[in-house]
Each structure stands twice: as structure tokens, then as C-alpha cells.
């Protein structure tokens, strides 16, 4: 580690707890916790011996001691907080999705660019050993081509109800599926070309969601074609029965020469004809810690981040195309040539 940074955590929920723990693990100092829920902020602060508790994110960010702002609130607030942080000259670690609208995401990108600060997005799957291993196998031609990729993201209603709110995190298509799309886009080295999806809201009658004015789509089947000719399909749902025993499989990839099954950051089962090989993807450093270390290194050495706002805009463009396909019932083409720029 080149330098120890002072961090302000905005949001004391599950992600705020994860960010605080990881920053401390990485050797940095959490100086303040900000949340409208003072009890949650107080509880998190007690874990890491943080004395400064706030309810106003602007006061936290204006603190001259702060170097990095960790944005751990619902996506509808990401742009507002990140823009203010950039204007104050603070670097940013922001959870994904980057924002709920492309307009907000572009405004966030403009503020970061003008301020000359670094902003990383929370795509931690792309910092795991799993990606290095599967990318290497694909480049070696272990599976042949084209590739068929099967993805599954299925859970019961999320305990953080903001994730189901169209104006909170806008459901799994916007909030969570971007992790997997980016992972496989990186692994095969190709951008998405078009997408077709069907979906809806299957948890709409669940009593715990009754207070949400407009629910996000929580379930879909999605087929994505890459420019390379490879195809990925995903079944996604956050509407399974309460206490379900049905769990997601992370991914299967297959081609004419072989196949593999992946578990998140654990093992890869490589299948070549009648041969089976188990490859461990475990690492001494977890992907989130790798990601935080990367941002700190980029700040210390004035380097661009690997996955920043530009990556977030590309993934949000894909999410919007999926929602458009569900609404229209048509295949939606993607043109990333109109999404120009670089991560900072």
C-alpha cells in the first residue's frame, strides 16, 4: 500500500458495512459514517471505532480530512452524492448500478472528469481469480467456439426492499445482473450486440412489498448475443417463495470442444470430453478487497481505474435495452459506438 486514505462511508446498510470492513482491512481509516438511520450508523461506527456520525452527506464530504467517499445508498441517489463529492475534490468508490438513468450517469461522469478525481464502480466479480482462469481457458480455445453461456440469478424477495423499488435500485436487471454481464463480456473479450427478454413482476402480491408505490420488474428470461457470435442466456428472479431451498448456479459455459461449470470465486469444473478437472479459484484476497486496493493504487499513482463510470454507463445501457425488450417484445440492438469516453 502506497498511502493510507481517510474514508467517509455514506450509507450504513449492508453495503456500507461491507465497505467499512473492507477499507479497514485494506489499511485505510474510516473517519465518518453517514446515514439518516442514526441507530444503524451508530452500530456500524462502534464496530470500527468511528467517532464521527452524521445524517447529512454534504457535511461528511466537506470534511477536509476526507480523501475517498464510499457511496453505499440506493442507486437513485448515486449521481447526486457522487457529483457533490467530485465537486469537493474527493475520490469515489460507488456501488453499482452507476445510476438509474443514463442522463444522471452522464452528469456524474462529467463532474468526475471536470474534477480530475478517480471513481470506481463496485464490479467486484471482475477482480476475482475466477475471471482470470476462465478468460485464460477461453483464449486458449479450450471450449472451442461459439460459446453458449447459461447464467442463473434466483432469490426470494430481497430483505432490502429498496432493491425492488423502481426508483430505488430498480430490480435485479438493473441492480445485479450487470455483475454477470460484465464478467462474461470481459471473459470472452466481446461487447453485447443485441438482446431479447421477457419478464414481469411475480412478487407483486407479497405483503412485504405492499408499501412500494411502483415495483421494478423482478423476473426475466434474457438472451444476449455478443459481437463474437457467442450467446448468453440468463434466468433472473427476486420473487421466489419465502425460505426457498432453490439456489442459483453461477454459470455454465460450453462449446464444441468442452465445457465448464463455475461457482463464485470458489471452483471451476472443466469438462473436456470424458475428462473432468477441478480448478480452485480461491485466493488469499477477496475480490472486493482487490477492488478497493486497485482504487487506492490508482489514486496514489494518478492512474485511471479499471471499471469506472464509463463501464457503469455501458452496463446501464444494456440494462435499459433489456427492459425495453421486455416492454416491446422485440429484439433490441446495442450500439456501444455511441457510448464514448474512458474510465477515470
Q: What is the DSSP string of 298-317?
A: HHHHT---SSBHHHHHHHHH
- Residue 21 covered by a domain: yes
Do 145 and 206 have their domain in common?
yes
Kindly state the average pLDDT of the residues 24-29.
97
Do 120 and 133 have their domain in common?
no
- Residue 159 covered by a domain: yes
The CATH number for 248's domain is 3.30.360.10
Task: Calculate the dihedral angle through the C-alpha atoms of 292, 294, 295, 298, rounding to the nearest 10 degrees.
Answer: 160
Kindly state the average pLDDT of the residues 298-327.
97
Look over the chain and give the mean of its residue pLDDT values, rounded to a whole number.
Answer: 94
How confident is the model at residue 338, as a pLDDT? 58
Do 113 and 180 have their domain in common?
no
- Structural domains of the chain, count: 2
- Domain, as residue range, for 175: 126-280
- Residue 257 covered by a domain: yes
Do 69 and 132 have their domain in common?
no
Q: Is 29 helix (H, G, I), strand (E, B) or coil?
A: strand
Tens of pLDDT along 72-110?
A: 999 999 999 999 999 999 999 999 999 999 999 999 999
Tens of pLDDT along 130-165?
A: 899 999 999 999 999 999 999 999 999 999 999 999
Q: Is 331 helix (H, G, I), strand (E, B) or coil?
A: coil
What's the whole-model pTM score?
Answer: 0.94
| Cα end-to-end distance, the chain, whole Å | 20
Amino acid at each position: 500500500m502506497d498511502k493510507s486514505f481517510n474514508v467517509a462511508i455514506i450509507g450504513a446498510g449492508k453495503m456500507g458495512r461491507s465497505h467499512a470492513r473492507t477499507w479497514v482491512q485494506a489499511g485505510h481509516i474510516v473517519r465518518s459514517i453517514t446515514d439518516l438511520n442514526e441507530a444503524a450508523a451508530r452500530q456500524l461506527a462502534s464496530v470500527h471505532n468511528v467517532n464521527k456520525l452524521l445524517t447529512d452527506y454534504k457535511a461528511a464530504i466537506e470534511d477536509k480530512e476526507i480523501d475517498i467517499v464510499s457511496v453505499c445508498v440506493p442507486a437513485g441517489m448515486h449521481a447526486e452524492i457522487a457529483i457533490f463529492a467530485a465537486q469537493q475534490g474527493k475520490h469515489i468508490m460507488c456501488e453499482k448500478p452507476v445510476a438509474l438513468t443514463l442522463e444522471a450517469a452522464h452528469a456524474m461522469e462529467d463532474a468526475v472528469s471536470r474534477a480530475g478525481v478517480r471513481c470506481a464502480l463496485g464490479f467486484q466479480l471482475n477482480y476475482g481469480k475466477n475471471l482470470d482462469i476462465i478468460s485464460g481457458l477461453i483464449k486458449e480455445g479450450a471450449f472451442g467456439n461459439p460459446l453458449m453461456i447459461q447464467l442463473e440469478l434466483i432469490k426470494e424477495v430481497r430483505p432490502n426492499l429498496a432493491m425492488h423499488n423502481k426508483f430505488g435500485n430498480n430490480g435485479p436487471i438493473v441492480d445485479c445482473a450487470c455483475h454477470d454481464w460484465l464478467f462474461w463480456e470481459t471473459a470472452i473479450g466481446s461487447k453485447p450486440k443485441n438482446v431479447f427478454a421477457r419478464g414481469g413482476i411475480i412478487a407483486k402480491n407479497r405483503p412485504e412489498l405492499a408499501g412500494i408505490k411502483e415495483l421494478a420488474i423482478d423476473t426475466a428470461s434474457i438472451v444476449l448475443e455478443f459481437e463474437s457470435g457467442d450467446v448468453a442466456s440468463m434466468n433472473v428472479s427476486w420473487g421466489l417463495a419465502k425460505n426457498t431451498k432453490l439456489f442459483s448456479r453461477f454459470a455454465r459455459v460450453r462449446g464444441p470442444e468442452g465445457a465448464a461449470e463455475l461457482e463464485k470465486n470458489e471452483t471451476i469444473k472443466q469438462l473436456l470430453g470424458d475428462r473432468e478437472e477441478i480448478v480452485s479459484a480461491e485466493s488469499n484476497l477477496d475480490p472486493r478487497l482487490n477492488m478497493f486496493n486497485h482504487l487506492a493504487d490508482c489514486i496514489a499513482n494518478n492512474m485511471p481505474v479499471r471499471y469506472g463510470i464509463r463501464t457503469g454507463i455501458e452496463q446501464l445501457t444494456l440494462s435499459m435495452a433489456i427492459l425495453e425488450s421486455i416492454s416491446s417484445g422485440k429484439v433490441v440492438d446495442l450500439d456501444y459506438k455511441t457510448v464514448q469516453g474512458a474510465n477515470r
